[in-house]
Structure 1
Amino acid sequence: MRTEVIVVGAGPTGLMLAYELTLAGIPVVVMEKQLTHSTQSRAGGLQPRTAEVLDLRGLLEPLLAQEPSENTTGGHFATLPVELDCRPWRTRYPHPVNVAQVRLEAHLERLLGEQGVPVLRGHEVTAVAQDAEGVTAQWHADGASDGGEVRGRYLVACDGGHSTVRRLLGVPFPGRERRMSAVAADLTLASRSETVPTERKHFSQYTRSAGGFHAILHPIGPDLYRLLFGKLSGEGPDRETPVSPDEVREALRAVYGPDTELGELRAASRFGDAVRQVERYREGRVLFAGDAAHIHMPIGGQGVNLGVQDAVNLGWKLAGTIHGWAPAGLLDSYHEERHPVAARVLRHTRAQAVIMNPGRDEELGTVRELVTELLRLPDTNRYVSGLMSGLDLRYPGVGPRLIDVDLTTEDGPTRASRLLHTGRGLLLSLDGRRRSVGHRSDRVEHVMAKTDEDVDGAGALLIRPDGYLAWTDTDGTPLDTALARWFG
């Protein structure tokens, strides 16, 4: 089997990357060792920047049409009782969007299937070898006595925190071991006490501790709950030990009383607070993205936020490299831009793990009180909301994200995000002046438009496919210089 890019892992990162490459006309094969879809909700929502990125490709609207997001509460930092306000960031999604990770994955896999992209489930990669021309991955099919191999020009490992590709290549994964063990479970309740929440609230109102356990129990659907729990001591079985119904029953009774009884345990898994990151996101013709490149304590949808943006940052750069128009260094800029972003998330998730303080240590309690007061200050809240949502992201030498303003083009009213559905770059002229993209019309579209909203005071903007400003007419840099830098 031959292709251009082998994507290992069919989680949100791998599927989003496969979609980006397909949009750019790059043949891709996705290999996933799990035979069936996970039914666990995992991340229960999308951060505002993730929602914007999906909007850039027209992917969010169909998801919201299936199940509109009714969330009107802001995000949280370390479960502290202050809503994070994203409105100062001029986003259409000032609150986290209630789209579960499992729904996003199913939607992306369905779209890839419609495009004829192979998502080979039950195919576990057993060996990876690369040379000057490409990468060969050997695989073994679930339930079969043998397997085969696939050859591509590049391979991208999106196969999670316990990445097989990373292990096969001997790539170090430095960081800190986990210091606690906890459980995430989707379940129904046969009965419940008055302490069990029945409606969506700010996340801080779901946290409880009692009987030697800490827990967060919140509704995620009709009669369906998501429970996060662990012992206050931090002790617990290793990741591979199955979560038993009796274990869940013990935690429910300890925290929510004997009147709260488990109904059905739908899905459950263990997690910890280990923090790790690969030193380089590119090893020759193998690249790393999502949890294969970085892991942290799962809190606030940060994993999905990072992974989806890894994919959208890498996709167009890898496509340009394969098509042959990428300027020197474009593919390496994936590491240069995304590695510091993940490092920052690892730092603030570590800080949150300390501040959350489920044991309510008296000294850490005073820290919680102080940080809570600080979050009530508008400037602090804006800073932290930008940090948690990803809306504040700005790469070195690149402008901020494009604000999704309302526009009027020659074809009628639209939004800025809809002009990026093709996955190409965009030259947007708002001053009535036509400009040229030269021979790059296959990778950059030029659109004339008008708007009543301010777009960084610019009359013209060059926007990268991932939605960040590569140039404006206020930069003092010639347009052609920016075009050559990003689009060859």
Structure 2
Amino acid sequence: MRGFDQEQEGAVGGVIVIGGGPTGLWTAAELRLRGVDVTVVEQLPEPSPYTKGFTIQPRTMEVWASRGIAERFVEQGRRIPSGHFGLLEQRMDFSGLDTPYPYTLMLPQPRVEQLLEEYALQLGADIRRGHTFTGLEEKPHSVVAHVRGPQGAYALEADFLVGCDGTRSAVREGAGIGLSGTESTWYGWLADVALDDPPEQVPYSHVNARGTLMVVPMSPGVYRVGGLDLEDRSAGWDGYTVEELSARTAAVAGTDFGLRDPLWVSRSGNAAKLADHYRKGRVLLAGDAAHRHLPAGGVGLNVGIQDAWNLGWKLAATLQGRAPAGLLDTYERERRPVGVELLEVTNAQSVLMTAWTPEGRDLRSVLGNAVARQPAFSRYLAETVSALSVAYPPDTPDAHPLVGHRAPDLRFSQGASLFALLRPGQHVLLDLTGGKVAQSMERATPGRHFGVWYADSLAEERADWKDVRAVLVRPDGHVAWASGETGDERLADAAATALAAAGR
């Protein structure tokens, strides 16, 4: 692979991605969108037919909409306008969220991976299935991945290596990055089964002194049944028989719903761990390689996609010599706190899911009533779980209040939308003065536009955007700079400064 950074003697260019799940595939797609050479190494010879996850959160749908592929997923998924928090009976209402996707989308992970792989291949990614990562070696200007493939062992060399290889990440271990947190104290189970007499209403959830149970339809005739059992504290596990699954289901629900023919059975614990670093030299971590947690609320796949969304444009800009100093270091600075909050939220749900004491049931009742009776509380939880509330700290204390926050899908007077403008994967400068800023900047620096420019006015009133006259939106949809400066020339100067800070 030829290097993008010709000033670095010995640089070979490109990126190696270890792991071909959703996080790895989206990392590859984001890099290929910007012309970076990418090789994905995936040990499975064929995509897994089993569904580890099936919940797509609104922010992930926005990510895909900002690349023009959201409808590929929407067409095949099932929309659920609510979500559970800790299996409370009262569900969070997603319908009023400020997003074009006010719902969770239920779509089995094998189909998600198929669509992502098709997209990455369409962009030119090199995906190698049946190839196993066995180790890494860092050099002064590159990193080497040792791989074992069907034809034997070989080595790949590139500028950077991204580990997207799950909670038992060999990349994390090979890079010497620690994983800190708490071990599992109990375990839950999941099974995809047939039900002869399924619940009348699905998704179904129930909690009692024996445990918790959830039933979700997966595909015609197939249901995901899962539960938690505080009596299950052994780290060892050799699978569950259909009789054991039936007994565990009936213990909570009073019936096994005619459970039979398990297609896939899994178990996971309540361990909560976070990588000590998301970057070490030329090695970076994303997705489950960086964080291990209880799969509560179906957030794991989504956080991985959003890690890759933050990383992709920064890594490409670094490789292509367009990044301002220290840009790649902001990946850990921005995303690791999201990982900290992820563990906090899943741990909180872990407590609620196992709250069978009288005090615990009272806690569930109080929080459930708050979800049902206080729309603002329900919205807060929904925005947290869906990642719509994620905001990154600004670099300066005097930054505009919008800086670091996610930009919604703004609609403009001439009919365009922000997510459509983000599709090329570049910064977007929004001139909300109707063109005055753009004209001033063109006179000052003719032909030096950076990213995508759009001059218009908002087609809708938004309280937090009311006085904003110009905005620079990052490729990942977060606000890099905003200003309500009323002087056109001063505003143009400020916009030029913001563009210069963003890169070249």
Whether TM-score is above 0.5 comes out as yes
Task: Provide, for residues 95-148 of structure 1, a one-character-per-residue CA deviation record: whole Å limited to 9, x for no partner.
Answer: 212233332211011122233322111111111011221110001125x5x221
Once the two structures are aligned, what percentage of the paired residues are identical?
A: 34
Q: Helix, strand or coil: the match of 1:338? A: helix
Code of the residue aligned with 1:44 in structure 2: it is F
More divergent stretch after superposition (93-102 vs 13-22):
93-102
3-state SS of 2:166 partner: coil
Does the 8 A contact of 1:197 with 1:218 survive in 2? no
Q: Which residue does the alignment assign to 1:416?
A: 418
Identify the residue that residue 474 of structure 1 maps to in structure 2. Answer: 484
Distance 1:324 1:346 in 2: 35
1:123 matched to which residue of 2? 131
CA distance in 1, matches of 2:249, 2:369: 31
For 2:254 and 2:91, locate their aligned partners in 1 and report how far apart those are by CA, in whole Å.
Answer: 28
**Paired residues of 2:41 and 2:132 also in contact (CA < 8 A):** yes
TM-score by length of 2: 0.87
Distance 2:476 2:174 in 1: 31
Q: Aligned letter for 2:454?
A: V
Following the alignment from structure 1 to structure 2, what is the Cα–Cα distance between the partners of residues 48 and 325? 31
Q: Which moved more, 1:280-289 or 1:451-460?
A: 451-460
Contact map agreement 1:357 1:365 (CA 8 A) in 2: no
Match of 1:216 among 214, 217, 223: 214
2-side partners of 1:354 and 1:440: how far apart? 58
Q: Establish whether residue 329 from structure 1 lines up as the match of residue 326 from structure 2.
A: yes
Shift of 1:209: 4.7
What SS does the corresponding residue of 2:24 show, helix, strand or coil?
helix
> Structure 1 pair 309/440, CA: closer, same or farther in 2 (3 Å)?
farther
2:231 is matched with which residue: 205, 230, 233?
233
2:246 & 2:450 partners in 1: Cα distance? 56
- For residues 70-149 of structure 1, what are the structure 2 equivalents within 5 Å? 70-71=79-80, 73-86=81-94, 89-141=97-149, 146-149=152-155
Q: 1:110–1:86: structure 2 CA closer, same or farther, 3 Å change rule?
A: same
Q: 2:330, 2:188 → 1: CA distance?
A: 36
Count of residue pairs brought into register by the alignment: 471
Greater Cα offset, 453-462 or 298-307: 453-462
Which residue, 436, 458, 467 being the options, matches 1:451? 458
- CA gap 1:262/1:157 in 2 versus in 1, 3 angstroms: same
Instruction: Give the deviation of 1:406 after TM superposition.
Output: 2.5
Q: Distance in 2 between matches of 1:86 and 1:70?
A: 11
**1:374 — aligned with what?**
370
1:57 and 2:67 matched: yes
- For the 8 Å contact 1:430–1:450, the answer to whether it is kept is yes
Looking at structure 2, the residues matched to 255 and 236 of structure 1 have their Cα atoms a distance apart, in angstroms, of: 20
Conservation of the 8 A alpha-carbon contact between 2:162 and 2:285: yes
Q: Which residue of 351, 359, 362 maps to 2:358?
A: 362
The aligned residue for residue 245 of structure 2 is 248
The 3-state SS of whatever aligns with 2:104 is coil
Structure 2 unaligned residues grouped into runs of 5+: 2-11, 395-402, 486-490
1:377-416, Cα deviation, whole Å (9 max, x unpaired): 233223222211111111101332112133354xxx3322
| Structure-1 residue corresponding to 2:275 | 278
Q: CA deviation at 1:454?
A: 2.9
Does the CA contact (< 8 Å) of 2:13 and 2:319 recur in 1? no
Distance 1:389 1:440 in 2: 40
The residue aligned with 2:348 is 351
For 1:328-363, what per-residue CA distance to the aligned partner results, in whole angstroms no more than 9, with x for missing partners?
Answer: 1110001111111110110121111011226x1112
Equivalent position amino acid for 2:343 in 1: L
Compared with structure 1, are the counterparts of its residues 441 and 122 closer, same or farther at alpha carbon in structure 2 (3 Å cutoff)?
farther
Which letter does structure 1 place at the counterpart of 2:20? A
Decide which of 321, 337, 342 is 2:339's aligned counterpart. 342
Alpha carbons of structure 1 residues 440 and 471: separation in structure 2 relative to 1, 3 Å: farther
Matched to 2:215, the amino acid is L
In 2: Cα distance, 1:440 partner to 1:402 partner: 27
The amino acid across from 2:417 in the alignment is R
Structure 1 residues 437-487: Cα deviation after superposition (integer angstroms, max 9, x where no partner): 869968511122343213512232211000011122327881122222222
Contact 1:289/1:307 (<8 A) preserved: yes
Which residue of the partner structure matches residue 411 of structure 2?
Answer: 406
Describe the shift of the 1:345–1:420 C-alpha distance in structure 2 as closer, same or farther (beyond 3 A): same
In structure 2, give the amino acid aligned to 1:24: R
Per the TM alignment, residue 292 of structure 1 is displaced from its structure 2 partner at its CA by 0.5
Aligned pair in 2 of structure 1 residues 258, 446: CA closer, same or farther (>3 Å)?
closer
Does the alignment pair 1:22 with 2:12? no
SS in 2 for 1:174: strand
The unaligned stretches of length 5 or more in structure 1 are: none
For residue 9 of structure 1, report the CA deviation from its aligned partner: 0.8
Aligned residue among 316, 321, 343 for 1:319: 316
Structure 1 residue 87: deviation in Å? Answer: 5.2
Q: Is the 8 A contact 1:253 1:261 kept in 2?
A: no
Deviation at 1:305, TM superposition (A): 2.1
